Amino acid sequence: MPVHYQLGARSGAEHVVLITLDRPEAKNSCDLEHFHQLTQAWKRFAADDDAWVAIFTGVERCFMSGADLKTYVPEITALAKQIKAGEVDSVNGYSLSDGTNAVLRGTKIYKPIIAAINGPCVAGGMEMLGGVDIRVASEHATFGVLEPARGLFAGGGTTVRLPRQIPYAQAMELLLCADRIDAQRASAMGLLNAVVPEDALLDKAFEFAARITKNAPLAVQATKRSVLEGLKVDMREAYKIEARISQEIFMTEDAKEGPRAFAEKRQPKWSGR
């Protein structure tokens, strides 16, 4: 299967899922089937109570290069015709939204997601990057919003998310010039959390995951939810959202366990309740 889902892929990381895009023959570009599989992997992660953090990566020095231009456009066009003719939402399980859901556009996943970028991160890869929380890259990784150079448009979330995540001028340089940049420049722009040697990439990603999973999962998810929902509204409404989520968390079992463990000078045992 071209998209691998491994829960507990490493010892001591039983709550970490490693999701790997495995299509090196096409430089980890996606056709309709691979976008669908990736969408299903995200749905599985969102629904899996044992999965607290996800790490996404690609195989063989490829991260993700977006849609397979040789196959995806005719496939999605044919699917659209079938859906319209049948007046249905999907055909054989395939949906028109699989492409955008695969790159986390508009999805409500409040569990943390870490990207381990081990090669070209362009087009749909950049759109995916906008939907993750922590970004670790190998030294040879490259980045670019290449769609304008091909007469296309980055419609998977990049034009919305990128100017909200890095300084405006930096975002517009990436969006308008359609240049490739290296990992060091991407880090200087504020796009990345860390740049490491290739053989240390997954170690660094799992290190971030370990730092997250030592915390209470519901509190972590609530924090991400407050951030994402708060970014959609003005600050007055964002404070209301924060207050509501705060009340929810203070009612949980983990909110009792944390202070109790601190008082007893021991590590907390999170129940996720």
- For the chain, the structural domain boundaries read 3-213, 217-263
Q: Please, are residues 138 and 79 in contact by the beta-carbon 8 Å criterion?
A: no
Instruction: Pull the structure tokens for residue 88.
Output: 């249905």
Q: How far is CA 107 from CA 62, 63, 103, 167, in A?
A: 24, 20, 9, 24
**190-207 confidence digits (pLDDT tens):** 999 999 999 999 999 999
- Distance, in Å, from the CA atom of 268 to the CA atom of 46, rounded to the nearest integer, reads 24
Q: Look at strands 90-91 and 16-21 and give their pairing.
A: unpaired
91-105, 224-238, 257-271: least confidently modelled range: 91-105
Q: Give the CATH H-level superfamily of domain 217-263.
A: Lyase 2-enoyl-coa Hydratase, Chain  A, domain 2 (1.10.12.10)
Q: Please, are residues 21 and 64 in contact by the beta-carbon 8 Å criterion?
A: yes
What's the angle, vertex CA 114, arms to CA 156 and CA 32, rounded to 5? Answer: 40
What type of residue sits at position 228?
L
- Distance, in Å, from the CA atom of 200 to the CA atom of 26, rounded to the nearest integer, reads 25
Q: What is the pTM of this model?
A: 0.93
Main-chain dihedrals φ then ψ at residue 9, nearest 5 degrees: -65, -20
- Distance, in Å, from the CA atom of 174 to the CA atom of 190, rounded to the nearest integer, reads 12
The architecture CATH gives domain 3-213: Alpha-Beta Complex (3.90)
Q: Please, are residues 106 and 155 in contact by the beta-carbon 8 Å criterion?
A: no
Instruction: Pull the structure tokens for residue 8.
Output: 């507990």
pLDDT at residue 70 greater than cutoff 90 = no
Q: Please, are residues 56 and 116 in contact by the beta-carbon 8 Å criterion?
A: yes
Q: Please, are residues 121 and 174 in contact by the beta-carbon 8 Å criterion?
A: no
92-101, 144-153, 197-206, 222-231: least confidently modelled range: 92-101
Q: Please, are residues 198 and 118 in contact by the beta-carbon 8 Å criterion?
A: yes
3-state class (DSSP) for residue 70: coil
Q: Please, are residues 42 and 107 in contact by the beta-carbon 8 Å criterion?
A: yes
- Label residue 1 by pLDDT band (50, 70, 90): low
Q: Is the dihedral of CA 204, 52, 59, 173 positive or negative?
A: negative
Catalytic residues: 127, 147
